[in-house]
Chain A
Amino acid sequence: MANIIRIGACLPRLRLERRAMAQAMGWLVPGAGAGRGTRTLAFWDEDSVTLAVAAARGALGRDRAESLTFATTTPPFAEPQNAALIRAALRLPALCLTQDATGTPRATLLALQAALEGTAPALIAAADRPVAPAGSTAESRMGDGGAAVLTGPGAGLFTYLGGASLSAPFLHRTRASGAETALDWEERWQREAGYQAQVPPAIAAALTRAGVEAGAVDHLILPCPIPGTAATVARLSGLTRAALAEDLADRTGDTGAAHPLLMLAAHLPRIAPGQIVVLAQFGQGATALVLRAGEGVADHPGLPALDQGIPESNYLKLLAFQERLDWDRGLRGRFIVQEAQSTAYRNAEALLGFVARREAETGLIRFPPRNDVPGEDWPLADRGGIVATATADRLAYSRHPPNCYGLLDLQGGGRLMMDFTDPEAADLAPGDPVRFVFRVKDIDEHSGYRRYFWKAVRDTGRGL
């Protein structure tokens, strides 16, 4: 049995206001913009892989893992394995069991259960950037986000006491391979025959295995986009004193595979060492994990990113970022992304891991690295830099003009011309500190093929 060592999270900066969604689509679809507050909106260059990488960097710290599971219902690639890209971006050792876990958002807790019931250090990186029909209730309830957890021996946030998973051919949401959006069955049926019928037995079995009484549970973490359902599940499960974790519906929306871990992270400041937590998730059955909080939860900051968003009132950005708007890209926007896979592979350590080289004879740091020159690998991802020159280019094709880029002086030496990203990229000026994030570099409009590289964002010192 292993423990939960650390949790990492990544929320996109943009928070789309639901009233803007209602205003844009409500004339056509009465349920548009359902709910209150905001939902997270991934920037054009954020997808489930990049959100997973960002979250996993936080979960890993300086530790290493022997396996990596990427849990998502929205993998960018049907083939190849997405986890292979994530491992390379995280620079985990090549001797690593990588796998994608998909089909249900519950893939996250299924992977987590397997990891906790093993002993080796394991990383589960969960993220979703879901797509739903324009104006639908689902679109409003959804959000984009990533969360990750590192498990292994040793003290950390939680000790694993036991868990159970239950499987059911309950098809409340279906989406054929290749289809973009899902079909959701009636909500009351989901609630009553789904959540309320399937989650309590999983919780009961998990508590039995953990040797914990239902009445001893202090906290229940159960993502459910249907209001009030988690409370009913708690009552049906006999969790008489359990506090319910906030579902974050008004702030992030339901982030799918990432959501149980995001809710857990946000709830951490309310959990005291020694308390019992049930972490549960639904989807073609249910999984429940029973955890006992360790000393690591004390003084945990929770999920500060919740309060560090940028309000967005333009619904069309969602459609544009999700590539669902046939906008006028101009002739400059018509280009083919050359896959050049053999080039990409022989430079994978540099491009995905963001590794330069320190040349032995001169001490120079160089990117791209000259790997035929004696020297040592010089990882850049955690170094950050200072803007040397910058531009906001209105002529270059961009999915969020102006296209912002410039020369960066890398901490420790070396210099590189890089893309700046995120909504405030145009504000970056010479002298500003930046840190690096793993993002989509470009997307081929026709094949859908995408490439990844690192970009610069302002370093606020908050570790966002």
Chain B
Amino acid sequence: MASGIKDKVAILSMGCSRFGERWDIGQEELMREAYAEALTRAGIDPAAIGAAWYSSHYDDIGAGKSGVPMAMALSLPDIGVTRVENFCAGGTEAFRGAVFAVASGSVDIALAMGVEKLKDTGFAGLPTASRGTLAPMYLPTHTNPGNFAQLARAYEAVHGIARQDLKRAMAHTSMKSHANAVANDKAHLRKPITIEQAVQAPLVADPLGLFDCCPVSDGAACALVTTPEIARALGQAEPVLVKAVQIVASNGWEAQQQGWNGAYVHTTRQAAKAAYAEAGIADPRQISLTELHDCFSITELVTLEDLGLAEPGTAWRAMLDGRFDAGGAQPCQIDGGLKCFGHPVGASGLRMLYEGWLQLTGQAGARQLGAPHSALTHNLGGAPAQNVCSVTILGL
């Protein structure tokens, strides 16, 4: 019987580059920016790193395939570097690899890095990801706004929510994240917005408007993980421990059969259930803060429900009531989330963990919450009907 990952691995240190349209630097510099911060905070010699995992979604932009680009960019000490790609859950996938390596006893310290250099495409929004040879022969030419607009339309239809109410709830979601990001000097978007601005923004994919969509950003984030014993030996009295890491990939049920109603994300529910079991959490509402995958405002609303932080069909109302604002009962996206911190695909999972780690170690500066004891991060890669979902829980 598997015992799970709980309390077997600690976060020694983390780093995160400034996110945004980093016209002046490339993928290598982004990685070095995050890595330097992590090394400085950890106070270790890079030679102590035993293995590395590297997440990057696109390989036709950025630095290309394999682990070599990261090994070269960081001048790693002749160790194994594994490149992983798992849509928007790639950053968490890299983290999981590093965590498993430490938990197995294979290495003492492992590095997980996620990076994406998206602003070398020449256009706004994400490029179309390759889908092999067969899928483009029958699947529509889609975009992520188009995919998640379907989630919004199903959500309003299933729960009987008036379009204007949904639009305002989605607008509040984005307004809240913009407000949170003002104090974050690494965030991509740091200007506050009003609900009216968001409601009246041009449509991208009905009913999602411009402010319902997260930006496309350059950025990198990384983690150095080790055993709790080594973390304590290196001076961390109360290290942040990994309580759960779960990843679930769609097996075709949602997209190929008729049981799913389109108004929730099946993999999120499954991953959350597994993560709560692994972490021993009975009531997820007791988790101190959440960083969830708000690629679109509707994703945040639906995910709040799928994670058990709101009852199905109620998150929109709770959002309008301010429950997930910085000063609310369950602060969400305290760093601005994907919506405003930014979304460099392969890095986002590690960026969320960075915020969780900062908050749990009291290093979050102006946005520091009171005395958080636990943090949940969530990634959703792909489309609501066919995706990869990760849920990670950190705690003291």
Contact = CB atoms under 8 A, between A and B. Distances in A.
A441 B137 contact: yes
A335 B143 contact: no
Nearest to B123: A331
A393 B208 CA distance: 10
Given A391-B150, A405-B140, A417 B134 contact: no
A430 B154 contact: yes
A61 interface: no
Interface stretch (B48-56, B174-182, B236-244, B255-263): B255-263
Given A331-B122, A405-B140, A441-B137, A394 B256 contact: no
Interface string A311-336: 00000000000000000001110010
A344 B150 CA distance: 29
A340 B125 CA distance: 27
Interface string B131-173: 0011011111111011101110110010000000000000000
B140 A418 contact: yes
Contacts of A390: 150, 153
A331 B138 contact: no
A81 to B, nearest CB: 20
B255 A331 contact: no
A391 B258 contact: no
B141 A442 contact: yes
B145 A395 contact: yes
B256 A416 contact: yes
A351 B138 CA distance: 7
Interface string A394-413: 11111000110111010001
A392 interface: yes
Interface stretch (A68-76, A231-239, A266-274, A361-369): A361-369
A384 B262 CA distance: 20
A411 B140 CA distance: 20
B256 A405 contact: no
By CB atoms of chain B within 10 A, which of A344, A368, A398, A429 has the most? A368
A447 interface: no
B128 interface: yes
**Which size class do A's interface residues fall under?**
35 or more
A405 B140 CA distance: 7
A190 interface: no
A417 B385 CA distance: 9
B387 to A, nearest CB: 13
B206 A392 contact: yes
B150 A407 contact: yes
A367 B256 contact: yes
Nearest to A430: B157
Contacts of A330: 123
A389 B138 contact: no
A137 interface: no
Contacts of A419: 140-141
A331 B310 CA distance: 40
Contact of B262 (A331, A407, A418): A407
A219 to B, nearest CB: 44
Given A331-B121, A395-B143, A406 B258 contact: no
Contacts of A364: 256-257
A367 to B, nearest CB: 7
Contacts of B386: 417
A388 interface: yes
Given A391-B147, A396-B140, A407-B262, 19 more contacts: A330-B123, A343-B137, A367-B256, A389-B154, A390-B150, A391-B150, A393-B143, A393-B149, A394-B204, A396-B141, A397-B141, A403-B140, A403-B143, A417-B139, A417-B255, A417-B386, A418-B140, A419-B140, A430-B262
